[in-house]
Amino acid sequence: MIRSNVVTKHTIVLVNKKKYMESKYWANKGKYSKEIDELYRQGIIPMTGKTNDPALEVIRLVNHIGYEIYNNGGCNLLGSDGIRYDYYEELEELRDNAERINLDLLVARFIQIIEDNIVLVPGGGPDDDEEEYGTDECFLSDSIYDKIGGEMDELLDKAYEYYTKNH
């Protein structure tokens, strides 16, 4: 089969997930799972939209990004061009809020894991809309699941502890 040399768009594909270490919070077993769930139930952390508190915003954003990784396989973290992030604004907000509560190094490590596990396979698969080959495939490598859980847990623990200490 001859592959087209025209790349019309990038598609994002998911890899088959093997057994991985998941976040304790994702399994509802985090140190402060009940307390954080209660903040959501009471509307202190909004289900949609932002909060003005930097610690709560870190919790909200880490949960949002974690949901994307664990529930959707991380496919929406990447932009349709395979380079920029659809979650770029969320990652920038996470960096800004984490810096305000001295969690910037933890967040930098968390984001670095995401960036280190992006895989781009040029011309790897068929275009979703057409039968031709030549689109690039983007996905997060399987190894992200072994690394991200502990980072998420630590961020959520520290952000919640900062919130309770300062309110």
Give pLDDT tens digits for 72-111: 777 667 655 555 566 778 888 999 999 999 999 999 999 8
- Across 32-45, average pLDDT: 97
Q: Say how far apart CA 162 and CA 54 lie, in whole Å.
A: 10
Instruction: Report how far residue 135's alpha carbon sits from residue 133's, in angstroms, rounded to the nearest whole number.
Output: 6
Q: What is the DSSP letter of 7?
A: -
Above 60 in pLDDT, residue 16? no
Q: Is the distance from CB of 85 to CB of 68 less than 8 angstroms?
A: no
Q: Give the per-residue pLDDT at 101.
A: 97
Is the pLDDT at 21 greater than 50? The verdict is yes
Q: What is the pLDDT of residue 80?
A: 55
Task: Look at the block and give the residue holding tokens 């932009």.
Answer: 79
pLDDT given for residue 121 in this prediction: 61
Whether the pLDDT of residue 155 is over 80: the answer is yes
pLDDT given for residue 8 in this prediction: 29
Q: What pTM value is reported for the model?
A: 0.76
**Confidence at residue 82, expressed as pLDDT on a 0 to 100 scale:** 53
**130/74 Cα distance (integer angstroms):** 24
Q: Decide: 109 and 150 in contact? Cβ < 8 Å.
A: no
Nearest C-alpha neighbor of 116 from the set 80, 94, 140: 140
Beta-bridge partners for 126: 133
Question: Which band of pLDDT confidence, cut at 50, 70 and 90, is reported for residue 2?
Answer: very low
pLDDT of residue 4: 29
What are the tens digits of pLDDT across the range 45-82?
999 899 999 999 999 999 998 888 887 777 667 655 55
